[in-house]
Amino acid sequence: MTTKLDQELSQEVSRRRTFAIISHPDAGKTTLTEKLLLYGGAIREAGSVKSRKAAKFATSDWMEIEKQRGISVTSSVLQFDYKGHRINILDTPGHQDFSEDTYRTLTAADSAVMIIDSAKGVEAQTKKLFQVCSARGIPIFTFINKLDREGRDPFELLEEIEQVLGIRSHPMNWPIGMGRSLCGIYDRHKTQVELFDEDDHDRIDLRPVSGYDDEVIMKMAGESQFKQLGEEMELLDVAGDPFDMEKVAKGELTPVFFGSAINNFGVQTFLENFLTLAPAPTPRKSDKGDVTPTDSNFSGYVFKIQANMNPAHRDRIAFLRIVSGKFDRGMSVRHVRVGKDIKLSQPQQFLAQDRDIVQSAYPGDIVGLFDPGIFRIGDTLSGKGEFRFDELPTFSPELFSKVTVKNALKHKQYQKGLDQLAEEGTIQVFTSVGFEDIILGVVGQLQFEVFDYRMKHEYGVDIQMSRMNYQFARWIVGERIDPGKFRINSLLVKDSHGQYVALFENEYAMRTAMEKMPEIQFFATAP
Ligand code: GDP
């Protein structure tokens, strides 16, 4: 028998879309996000998202970072409604704020939007973020931005996406001209042209056509562009990948959209297609099998913990991705790892600058829970029954620092802080074999700064960090590991579980070691 709750759940789940925007800094993530929020009427004027980026920070003072950037460091989700859909955009910070949290946040998304600058193509950070999404097999939608500028040839860009990222692509629309000669985009599926008007961003000028060979396009674009479009479309029809929803769903084919975020050109078309093609909240794996969103039992997992969100209260926020059931403020849930029931009385949801108190939420939504220090990344909360969601993936550190405590008398607190912050996932901790030096590994500089700040303010310990030259970490497994073989351009360390990890200065050193020791297996993360 379907109950009222079942009905409510299936309705709420089906209208939700939870996704992350992945891109290299400057590709246009802020601009696109802002336009999307404008469509949802969630912000009053353009510029609101921008201000969250604030000025570049040069200080390692965490509170300063907080103050300057307001919620941008810490906010995790922007929520808005559009034509009956409820949309959650997970915020993945830019390069200065890059950290393991960025990667973990991606695990809370059901799909991703990848923005590519048409002049630059696939850039380093896009590639890293893409790989994390790709490993999860979630659908990835591509928005090729800045068509109003002279960019690279669209075919070349598609080729690069396929070569560098290893995903097939299907252009949903195609530019007619580019840069100064940009005339519009031809929608291959709806057979219509969206005309480009640099001066009027509010008007979306859609013209139905009978196909790319419609004379109407010639009148709009002129003979040479009309001819070029015809040739390019024929080539795509013959040599391009056909649209295949199943492949999109598995993350094997990316639908590609062209546009110019700043000119609000191609944005609405993109949004509407995205909402149709992107999945509603998807199930998550647990030790007792898949947990489906429409399951009436409430459940969720913590994917990120943010310390010191509010300098006045020194609180922490644990970000929970709701997987199933309905969340009601004040409800009691099982905290599975500690085996206790807890009351979720202070959940907060984040929209632009404001912190709102949430009364209820549904699968796909993210709520911020007040955390007096009881949560860890990966924790499962369940309304009824004990099960655990699969552990969150770990990521290979790329930056390393040796750390020492300034005052030897504080060694005990130092050790406590080190253990707790490592357990929380703030940093990864290694010990050098033979020297017993403590080495921190991270994926982004911000993690070092947060570690330093929290050591000082939460544990009262001043530390000294010195950057090391290593760039790669490989967990090594083998019958017999000879530390002597890891002396040149590399360092042998142990992780917190006592497993051997080799740090390398460069790719060459890593390859050489791999070739010299075929009997040993190398893993980018703990096997
Ligand atoms: P983010 O770092 O990815 O968030 O990028 P921003 O949204 O801040 O954009 C970076 C720069 O590119 C800004 O100066 C934007 O104004 C500009 N920009 C964004 N979209 C477009 C576009 O469609 N065309 C042009 N010409 N510039 C754009």
- Return d(Cα 14, Cα 253) in angstroms, integer: 23
Number of domains within the chain: 3
Identify whether 138 is part of a domain.
Answer: yes
What is the predicted pLDDT for the residue at 67? Answer: 42
Residue 474, ligand 1, Cβ within 6 A: no
One-letter amino acid at 29 equals K
CB 448 within 8 A of CB 456: no
> Best of 24, 262, 263 to mutate for ligand 1, by most ligand atoms within 8 A of CB?
262
313 is in an annotated binding site: no
310 in helix, strand or coil? Answer: coil
What is the 49 CA–ligand 1 centroid distance (Å)? 12
CB 172 within 8 A of CB 257: yes
**Dihedral angle, C-alpha 235, 238, 240, 241, nearest 10 °:** 160
Q: Name residue 16's beta-bridge partners.
A: 86
Question: Each residue's pLDDT tens digit in the chain (527 positions)?
Answer: 689 999 999 999 999 999 999 999 899 998 998 899 888 775 544 444 544 443 333 222 334 444 443 333 345 678 888 999 999 998 777 666 778 888 999 999 999 999 999 999 999 999 999 999 999 999 999 999 999 999 999 999 999 999 999 999 999 999 999 999 999 999 999 999 999 988 877 788 899 999 999 999 999 999 999 999 999 999 999 999 999 999 999 999 999 999 999 999 999 999 999 999 999 999 999 999 999 999 999 999 999 887 654 555 556 778 899 999 999 988 999 999 999 999 987 776 654 445 566 788 999 999 888 888 888 899 999 999 899 999 888 899 999 999 999 998 999 999 999 998 898 888 999 999 988 899 999 998 888 988 998 899 889 999 999 999 999 999 999 988 888 888 878 999 999 889 999 999 999 999 999 999 999 999 999 88
CB 70 within 8 A of CB 353: yes
CB 519 within 8 A of CB 479: yes
Packing angle of the helix pair 445-459, 411-424 (nearest 10 deg)? 130
Return the percentage of the chain with pLDDT > 70, whole number.
89
Residue 26, ligand 1, Cβ within 6 A: yes
Ligand 1 nearest-atom number relative to CA 261: 23
CB 329 within 8 A of CB 347: yes
> Best of 21, 22, 23, 26 to mutate for ligand 1, by most ligand atoms within 8 A of CB?
26
What is the 158 CA–ligand 1 centroid distance (Å)? 21
Alpha-carbon distances, residue 458 vs 35, 64, 250, 279, 373 (angstroms): 39, 16, 43, 41, 12
What is the 234 CA–ligand 1 centroid distance (Å)? 32
Q: Within this chain, do residues 80 and 152 fall inside the same structural domain, yes or no?
A: yes
Q: Within this chain, do residues 489 and 344 fall inside the same structural domain, yes or no?
A: no
Identify whether 193 is part of a domain.
Answer: no
What is the predicted pLDDT for the residue at 68? Answer: 42
CB 368 within 8 A of CB 350: yes
One-letter amino acid at 325 equals G
Count the alpha carbons within 13 Å of 430 in the hemisphere toward its beta carbon: 28
> Best of 31, 35, 49, 78 to mutate for ligand 1, by most ligand atoms within 8 A of CB?
31
* DSSP structure class, residue 408: G
What is the predicted pLDDT for the residue at 63? Answer: 41
- Return d(Cα 479, Cα 292) in angstroms, integer: 42
CATH no. for residue 480?
3.30.70.3280
Q: Within this chain, do residues 355 and 499 fall inside the same structural domain, yes or no?
A: no
The torsion angles phi and psi of 69, rounded to 5 degrees, stand at -100, 10
Q: Within this chain, do residues 102 and 139 fall inside the same structural domain, yes or no?
A: yes
Identify whether 231 is part of a domain.
Answer: no
Last residue of a domain, one of 334, 350, 382: 382
What is the predicted pLDDT for the residue at 98? Answer: 79
Positive or negative CA dihedral for 275, 276, 281, 282?
negative
Which run of H or of E encompasses 170? strand 168-171
Residue 123, ligand 1, Cβ within 6 A: no
Q: Within this chain, do residues 260 and 117 fall inside the same structural domain, yes or no?
A: yes
Give the angle 200-205-209 at the CA atoms, nearest 5°. 155
Residue 94, ligand 1, Cβ within 6 A: yes
Over the stretch 272-289, which tens digit does the pLDDT of each residue have?
A: 999 999 999 999 999 999
Identify whether 107 is part of a domain.
Answer: yes
DSSP characters for 476-505?
A: EE-S---GGGG-SSEEEEE-TTS-EEEEES
Identify whether 222 is part of a domain.
Answer: no
Q: Within this chain, do residues 42 and 75 fall inside the same structural domain, yes or no?
A: yes
Count the alpha carbons within 13 Å of 113 in the hemisphere toward its beta carbon: 32
- Return d(Cα 426, Cα 418) in angstroms, integer: 10
Tokens of 420: 């707790």
Report CA 233 to chain centroid distance, whole Å: 33
In the numeric block, the tokens 């709420």 are attached to 12
Which run of H or of E encompasses 50? helix 48-53
What is the 260 CA–ligand 1 centroid distance (Å)? 9
CB 401 within 8 A of CB 440: yes
Q: Which of 286, 388, 382, 387 is nearest to 334 (CA)?
A: 382
What is the DSSP pairing of strand 472-477 with strand 521-523? antiparallel
Last residue of a domain, one of 382, 414, 449: 382
208 in helix, strand or coil? Answer: strand
197 is in an annotated binding site: no
Q: Within this chain, do residues 431 and 307 fall inside the same structural domain, yes or no?
A: no
What is the 26 CA–ligand 1 centroid distance (Å)? 6
End-to-end CA distance of the chain: give it in Å, rounded.
45
Alpha-carbon distances, residue 161 vs 32, 95, 243, 361, 376 (angstroms): 20, 21, 16, 36, 36
- Return d(Cα 38, Cα 80) in angstroms, integer: 9
Q: Within this chain, do residues 109 and 41 fall inside the same structural domain, yes or no?
A: yes
CATH no. for residue 356?
3.40.50.300
In the numeric block, the tokens 């409430």 are attached to 298
Q: Within this chain, do residues 455 and 489 fall inside the same structural domain, yes or no?
A: yes
Identify whether 204 is part of a domain.
Answer: no
pTM of structure:
0.89
Please name the residue whose Cα sits nearest to atom 22 of ligand 1.
Answer: 146
94 is in an annotated binding site: yes
Tokens of 492: 């042998």
Q: Within this chain, do residues 167 and 271 fall inside the same structural domain, yes or no?
A: yes
Please name the residue whose Cα sits nearest to atom 6 of ligand 1.
Answer: 28
The torsion angles phi and psi of 111, rounded to 5 degrees, stand at -155, 170
What is the predicted pLDDT for the residue at 353? Answer: 41
Asked whether this complex has an ipTM greater than 0.95, the answer is: yes
Q: Within this chain, do residues 290 and 262 fall inside the same structural domain, yes or no?
A: no
Identify whether 238 is part of a domain.
Answer: no
Identify whether 389 is part of a domain.
Answer: no
Last residue of a domain, one of 382, 416, 445: 382
63 in helix, strand or coil? Answer: helix
219 is in an annotated binding site: no
Count the alpha carbons within 13 Å of 112 in the hemisphere toward its beta carbon: 31
Alpha-carbon distances, residue 346 vs 317, 321, 359 (angstroms): 10, 16, 9
- Return d(Cα 496, Cα 20) in angstroms, integer: 31
Listed in sequence order, the residues at least 6 apart from 165 whose beta carbon sits closer than 8 Å to its beta carbon are 122, 127, 130, 134
Domain span at residue 171 reads 16-176+244-277
Q: Within this chain, do residues 250 and 302 fall inside the same structural domain, yes or no?
A: no
25 is in an annotated binding site: yes
